[in-house]
Amino acid sequence: MTVKTIDDLIADGVEGRHVLVRADLNVPLKDGEITDPGRIDASVPTLRRLSDAGARVIVAAHLGRPGGRVDPAFSLAPVAEALSERLDRWVPLASDVTGEDAHERANGLDDGDILLLENVRFDPRETSRDDAERLSFARELAALTADDGAFVSDGFGVVHRRQASVYDVATLLPHYAGGLVESELSVLRRVSGSPDRPYVVVLGGSKVSDKLAVIEALAPKVDHLVIGGGMCFTFLAARGYSVGTSLLQEDMVDTCRDLLERFGSVIVLPSDVVVAPEFSADAPATTVAVDAIPDDQSGLDIGPASVRAFGEILDGARTVFWNGPMGVFEFPAFAEGTRGVARAIIGATSDGAFSVVGGGDSAAAVRTLGLDEDGFSHISTGGGASLEFLEGKELPGIAVLENQEQRS
């Protein structure tokens, strides 16, 4: 079925109407300061389009996991300030989610105004597994839009969640896909359909279990599946190597052995790693071959020979999907693996490859390491949603947009 888009909403007439937008503004904070504004920046175009078209915009979003209770540490106040700066207009923050202040502010909106609700996860019904509880919260959110409201789903990072502000509210209001969701889906369909070859997938991160489904889904489709990060040590153990004190999922070793037996022709593992005696930014770093990891050392990054080998594979790629850092990029001594692979992907992109950074820690690494974001074809805002899409799973927040009927 066809999903209606923000273009359809604007064509239908949006001036003077209340539009509830579910955005993904879940940005990392340190001491109350936003350390990576990527998701905020990605949300701005849809909000600006609606505002410029005269909509009265109400933004719903979450921050962190406050556990269904009000916690000032997870307030969206820093996000409201950042949105105000980027939109060049004041974006007030309601002091509650669907309470008196939210209603008063929503009722007082003029054409083009934008209001940010407080963290939707302050209400336990947002993430409840009880359908009736989620629906009751969704009805309160929908009530903020008065009688002529509409819903725009623009938080791609949450569309894989069956939550009140993502799924249930779309059953109550005329609903549309925002520009960000549209672009994310278009990109992922390109890499999951019939991508240009050679097609190279680079996976990192800590746990094999987190990436098992996507490995199973993609390994039969790719030319090379490059594996780094903490998860590589479980694969190395499956090959019979001792991995010292490196991160190891012992219960996944047999699974990795099976994957290597079935897809050994496409799976590429590191040949060397950077080890240290402890997990610390100032721990002394040593590069060793993967068959020579000391018993008292832990692998925290891939080594330079692995970076070169991975780079050679990427050099000839026409399509690249990358999800997960190659090491502990937050520590300078263990960031070169991630930096080197990212630069190789940028190089492939400049030579005409289509490259996608699959959100999450990979996107954070690009920004933390000061790499050129424009060097990639697309940087996703949704790590988990991207992976589940590539796994072939139905995303509830997308599926609900395909049904144009509303509950009474």
Q: Is 361 annotated as a binding residue?
A: yes
Q: How far is CA 323 from CA 229, 366, 367, in A?
A: 10, 11, 14
Contact 397, 153 (CB under 8 A): yes
CA distance 41 to 25: 9
Residue type, 266: V
Q: Which of 4, 17, 22, 39 is catalytic?
A: 39
Q: Return the residue matching tokens 């996703």.
A: 380
Contact 171, 196 (CB under 8 A): no
Residue 100 DSSP SS3: helix
* DSSP 8-class letter at 166: T
Q: Is 17 annotated as a binding residue?
A: no
39 is catalytic: yes
Q: Is 65 annotated as a binding residue?
A: yes
Q: Is 175 annotated as a binding residue?
A: no
Which two tokens mark 238?
């499956």
Q: Is 300 annotated as a binding residue?
A: no
CA distance 394 to 406: 20
22 is catalytic: no
Q: Is 211 annotated as a binding residue?
A: yes
For every residue of 192-208, DSSP letters joined together read HSS--SSEEEEE-SS-H
Q: Which of 149, 228, 360, 383 is catalytic?
A: 360
Instruction: Judge if the upstream peptide bond of residue 198 is cis by omega within 30 degrees of 0.
Output: yes
Strand-pair category, 286-289 with 272-276: antiparallel
Q: Which of 230, 337, 384, 397 is catalytic?
A: 384
CA distance 361 to 219: 22
Q: Is 88 annotated as a binding residue?
A: no
Which two tokens mark 163?
């939550």
Q: How far is CA 178 from CA 3, 288, 297, 353, 402, in A?
A: 10, 48, 48, 27, 13
Q: Is 26 annotated as a binding residue?
A: yes
CA distance 361 to 299: 18
207 is catalytic: yes
Which two tokens mark 263?
């897809």
Which two tokens mark 77?
């106040």
Burial of residue 258 (CB within 10 Å: 0-12, 13-18, 19+) is: exposed
Q: Which of 48, 86, 162, 207 is catalytic?
A: 207
Which two tokens mark 45?
């175009």
Q: Is 24 annotated as a binding residue?
A: yes
Q: Return the residue matching tokens 């850092």.
A: 325
Q: Return the residue matching tokens 């207009």.
A: 89
Q: Is 359 annotated as a binding residue?
A: yes
Q: Is 64 annotated as a binding residue?
A: yes
CA distance 20 to 262: 47
Residues making up the annotated binding site for ATP are: 211, 299, 330, 359-362
Residues making up the annotated binding site for (2R)-3-phosphoglycerate are: 39, 121, 161
Catalytic sites, residue numbers: 39, 207, 360, 384
Residues making up the annotated binding site are: 24-26, 39, 62-65, 121, 161, 211, 299, 330, 359-362
